[in-house]
Every structure is written in C-alpha cells, then in structure tokens.
Homo-oligomer: A and B are copies of this chain.
C-alpha cells in the first residue's frame, strides 16, 4: 500500500447489514479498487446518528455487522483501511470548521438533502446534524485527501458541495491545502428490491442480505417479481423492468447466454421458473462463500475488532495530520 496510489474514500452508514444491492452497487467495485487505489472504508456511525439519534443501539450493533460484511466479501485489511468514523476526532474538527464556510441557505438548497428531508418526513423538525451532514461529508472526504468518491448518481451534489468548501478553504488559505474530489458513479445502476421497488432495504423486507441462508435465497428468488403479463410459458415476456432479469444483468457471468435467454423469453416459450432457477444457482454460488466466511469471522470477534482498531489507528494519523495542515494553512493559532 503506497500513498502514491490515488485515494478513494467510501463507506457505509452503520444502520443495517449489507445486502445484494450493496454488493452490486459498491462492494464488488471496492474489491477491484483496493488493488489499484489507497482505499478507505468508513464505518459511518456518526453520519448514521444524524437521523438515528433515537436508535443508537442499531447504529452501534451494525458497526460490527458492516465490518463483517466487508471482510466476508473479500475486503483485505492489508489493502483497504477499515475505520470507525466516530473515533476520528479530526473529522468532527474539520466539520465544525467547514460549517463556517457554508451558509444555512446553501445547505437547505442541496438537492440530496432536500430529497432526503422529504423522504424522511422531517418537516420542520430536521435534526441540525442532518442539515449539516454535507459539511461533515466534506470533512470525511478531505480528511483523507480523497480525490475519488464512489457515490450513486443522486449523491453527486454532495461532491459538488464538498468541492465548494474545498475551494473556499483553499482561497482563505491562499494555497492548495486540499484537493478537489471527483464522484465515481458506478457503471451498474441501482439493484431493485425483490418486489421491484426502486430501493432494496432491510426495513422494506425486499432485500437479500449477504448473510442470507440457502433457504432464504431460494425463498427470495421464488418471491421475486417478473413480468405480471407473462402468465403462460408460451406467452412472450418482457425483460425490461423484470426484476429477475435485472438481477441476472447484475450477476450472470455469462453475458452471451444471458442474451440468448432474454431473446427466448421475449419470443415466448421460456417459463419464469426456469429463469429463476438460473438466477438462484448464480446467487447461491455467489453468496455461499460470503456466508461461510462471515460465519467464521463472527466466531472471531477479536480479529474483526483488531482490524477496525488498526485501520482506525492508521486513519487517525492521516486525518489528524490533515486537520493540523488545514489549521496551520488557514492561520489558526496552533500550539
């Protein structure tokens, strides 16, 4: 791991176990990225608190669960740094500093924040921490001097806001203290829930967690939505928006066979059962080793804790140094 590699910051809010949607959208990419980048994975418990202050136990318990998920899919602590957000004081220090370089109305105009305020039904009772989280995210990104941030398309405005803060800090310092970051939008779109809903989430009951048992996987695939108009095997079926095919697009390693299968389905004569069987085989093969590794790791909590501790230790050195650089560069009083 050399610091000459480009730095990537990514991570997950610790509000639940990770699922197939995470695997398709981000975890899989991270396995590649750790080979070529200096990758930091943030167990984002502090950010999770911005809308879960009433349920801290959930946020705490999922720190360990998400770390298990990372290691189970093949994140290698020798290549990637797994670290705990709330244990990195420089992130809070930079957040508080950056809040002076962004106005309340700018935060309120952030499209991601606007959408999420609506989605969460906060109304007038937005926790201040939630409104401020773009500044906290700017702190996360810049503390690691990350230049690449994998995000969903809907989160690109957050990177723009980070870069606005970076430009203001650099202007105030009269020097290029911090690099701007670039959003890395994943090639694969978001995986739908098994019920066809846009978003897979544990709370909606439409997710397949990475820890799913063989039976749970079978059950989920059986329940999966297909083409509601494809009633008889001989009918022509629709592939677009068909959840089973969306999953095959994401996970089938044999793209040629998949295209042939789609053609057959469109023509008619291919039953949902057969397509689902193919998907199930693929998912069972994908998830079995992850599940087994996850069970092994769960039996070795000391090892997992050690990974988090060591990663957080490394992250602390880096982020403390950044805060010190920023404080000196801006001309704060430094002891």
A interface list, Cβ under 8 A from B: 14, 43, 45-46, 49-50, 53-54, 56-57, 59-60, 63-64, 84, 86-87, 89-90, 92-93, 95-97, 99-107, 124-132, 135-136, 172, 305, 308-309, 312, 327, 330-335
* Residues of A contacting B: mostly: helix
29 residue pairs of the A-B complex, CB under 8 angstroms, read A14-B333, A43-B333, A45-B333, A46-B96, A49-B100, A50-B100, A53-B100, A53-B172, A56-B172, A57-B331, A64-B333, A84-B335, A86-B327, A89-B89, A89-B90, A92-B95, A92-B96, A99-B127, A100-B130, A104-B126, A104-B127, A104-B128, A104-B131, A105-B124, A128-B135, A305-B335, A308-B335, A309-B335, A312-B335
A103 / chain B contacts, CB cutoff of 8 Å: 124-128
Contact in complex: A127, B105 (CB < 8 Å): no
Q: Decide: A86 near B309, CB < 8 A? Known: A100-B129, A127-B100, A127-B102.
A: no
Contact in complex: B56, A332 (CB < 8 Å): yes
The residue in chain B whose Cβ has the minimal distance to the Cβ of A131 is B104
Contact in complex: B308, A129 (CB < 8 Å): no
A59 / chain B contacts, CB cutoff of 8 Å: 332-333
A333 / chain B contacts, CB cutoff of 8 Å: 14, 43, 45, 59-60, 63-64, 84, 86
Shortest distance between the CB of A137 and any CB in chain B (Å)? 12
CA distance A128 to B131 in the complex (A): 9
A308 / chain B contacts, CB cutoff of 8 Å: 335
The residue in chain B whose Cβ has the minimal distance to the Cβ of A90 is B89
A327 / chain B contacts, CB cutoff of 8 Å: 86
The residue in chain B whose Cβ has the minimal distance to the Cβ of A46 is B96
CA distance A52 to B46 in the complex (A): 27
CA distance A45 to B95 in the complex (A): 15
Q: Which 9 A/B pairs are nearest by Cβ-Cβ distance?
A: A89-B89, A99-B129, A100-B129, A92-B92, A63-B333, A53-B100, A99-B128, A92-B93, A92-B96
